[in-house]
Amino acid sequence: MTRPRRPSSRRGAGAQDTSHDELPGLGGRGFALLIAATAVGLCGFAAVLPLVPLWASRGGVGEFGAGSTTAAFMLTTVLTQLMMPWLLERGGYRWAFPVGCLIMGLPTPLFAVTADLAPLIAVSALRGVGFGMVSVAGTALAARLVPNEQVGRATGYYGLAVGLPQVLILPGGVALALQIGFDAAFWITGACSVLGAVLAAGIWFADGGRNRSALRSAPRHGGAGDAGPVGLPLLRLLASPLAIMLVAATSASTVITFLAIPLEQAAWLVSGTLAALALAVVVGRWTAGMLHDRYRRALLLLPGMAAAVVGLALVTAGLWTVGGEGSVPGPAAASLVLAGAALFGLGFGAVQNETVMLMLNRAGPTGYGRASAVWNIGFDAGSGVGAMGMGLVIQLMGYGPAFALLAVLLAGVLPLALTGRERSRSR
């Protein structure tokens, strides 16, 4: 006999012609396809993120020019994300992810045609449109494809799918390009995104069609109390986690985009640091998701922010001891950079999951698309600022002072983490 379910203020996140209880959830093939499509499709994002600035620098541009390729990617990403709630509510949940993967993957081999800055910026901007579609649709689908009590773990699994490939891809993309050539690296990463499109398209057919309610655009509703805030009230509720995400993502983007340049003479250190950062992000995000489902609150937002601040300070100290571009870092500097990147990654991963859960909870099930868009805008706008804005700061101040300024800025938003202690409404 089916046990009756208690009414819930967030039960709406589920069904139109299929009830929320009938979603296959974490054990379904549809959710597995979303995870696989994310892991494979975003390889084309993770590998290219540090690869294009390096390719551009070989064309003779400085840090500002190299960072502008990532900034162009993030600018069109954010502009696309602004439109995504409107698109998702008008049929986009079914097609946004696969179409976005195609837009992100098909142009990638064009990077190999030239190292001139203008074409690199143009291709990066085009790919940003696809990534904007994938990032918002993927985050929202991770919440829509599962029952309410699984949302924290679902976003944690989604974080694993985004982050685990980066453990190998972030350092591996650069290593692949240096070993077998940039042309092959761009072709391979582009093909990964195309494969992700194929996998994502299969969600519609998986599990006997039981996921189709989540892929249709009408909000999942189960009662009058499910309507979430909209407009200015919603923006006020999302302001604190958005500010945290902006500054944290700026810091992460700066580390990922520019760390390889001052440490170029220690390739092992660059690869090890990027791998440690990516692995730590995965661990932090998964841990936060598990604890959120267990205790129904954002337990790791404040500790995660504190860990990120201390980690970035350690990275700063390590870079300050490096003599300059072309210098070989000593054991002390290498240890500080490695340890700092790992600690920063743990904190940043926890902050990612806690802020997205805060936004989803505050927006309510009818606002999952809007919450996903705002969170991804914070993440990607911060990434763009880190790539372009911090590139200019580095050129003016040098690596040590610029990273120190960033650590102070990250510490400045630490008090905002105190606003995330309310209990989840998902039960």
Task: Classify residue 367: in a domain, yes or no.
Answer: yes
Distance CA 173, CA 196 (A): 18
Mean pLDDT of 381-396: 80
Asked whether 244 and 348 are in contact (CB, 8 A), the reply is: no
Closest CA to 350 of 254, 264, 285, 396: 285
Task: Classify residue 9: in a domain, yes or no.
Answer: no
* More confident position, 385 or 112: 112
Task: Classify residue 426: in a domain, yes or no.
Answer: no
Query: Whole domain around residue 236: which residue ranges?
Result: 15-220+229-420
User: Which phi and psi angles does 297 have, rounded to 5°?
Assistant: -155, 165
Task: pLDDT band for 3, please (50, 70, 90 cuts).
Answer: very low
Provide the 3-class DSSP secondary structure of residue 297: strand
Give whole-number Cα distances, 254 to 70, 71, 261, 377, in Å: 11, 11, 11, 17
Which pLDDT score is estimated for 228?
59
Distance CA 50, CA 172 (A): 10
Tell me how many domains the chain contains: 1
Distance CA 342, CA 137 (A): 29
Which pLDDT score is estimated for 225?
45
Asked whether 262 and 376 are in contact (CB, 8 A), the reply is: no
Q: Does the model's pTM come out above 0.85? A: no
pLDDT digits (tens, 9 = 90+) for 50-60: 788 888 887 77
Q: With 70 as the cut, is the pLDDT of residue 171 above it?
A: no
Give the ranges where 59-150 is alpha helix by DSSP (H).
Answer: 63-87, 93-105, 117-144
Distance CA 89, CA 357 (A): 20
Which range is most confident: 138-142, 166-170, 392-396? 138-142
Which pLDDT score is estimated for 14?
36
Task: Classify residue 10: in a domain, yes or no.
Answer: no
Task: Classify residue 2: in a domain, yes or no.
Answer: no
Mean pLDDT of 203-208: 89
Tell me the two tokens of residue 6: 């208690």
Mean pLDDT of 304-320: 93
Beta carbons within 10 angstroms of residue 328's beta carbon: 13
* More confident position, 349 or 395: 349
Q: What is the CATH number of the domain that holds 409?
A: 1.20.1250.20
Task: Classify residue 306: in a domain, yes or no.
Answer: yes
Distance CA 133, CA 45 (A): 13
Asked whether 235 and 80 are in contact (CB, 8 A), the reply is: no
Distance CA 184, CA 177 (A): 7
Beta carbons within 10 angstroms of residue 209's beta carbon: 12
Task: Classify residue 425: in a domain, yes or no.
Answer: no
Which pLDDT score is estimated for 10?
37
Which pLDDT score is estimated for 129?
95
b/e map 275-285, b = 16+ CB within 10 Å:
bbbbbbbbbbb
Task: Classify residue 319: in a domain, yes or no.
Answer: yes
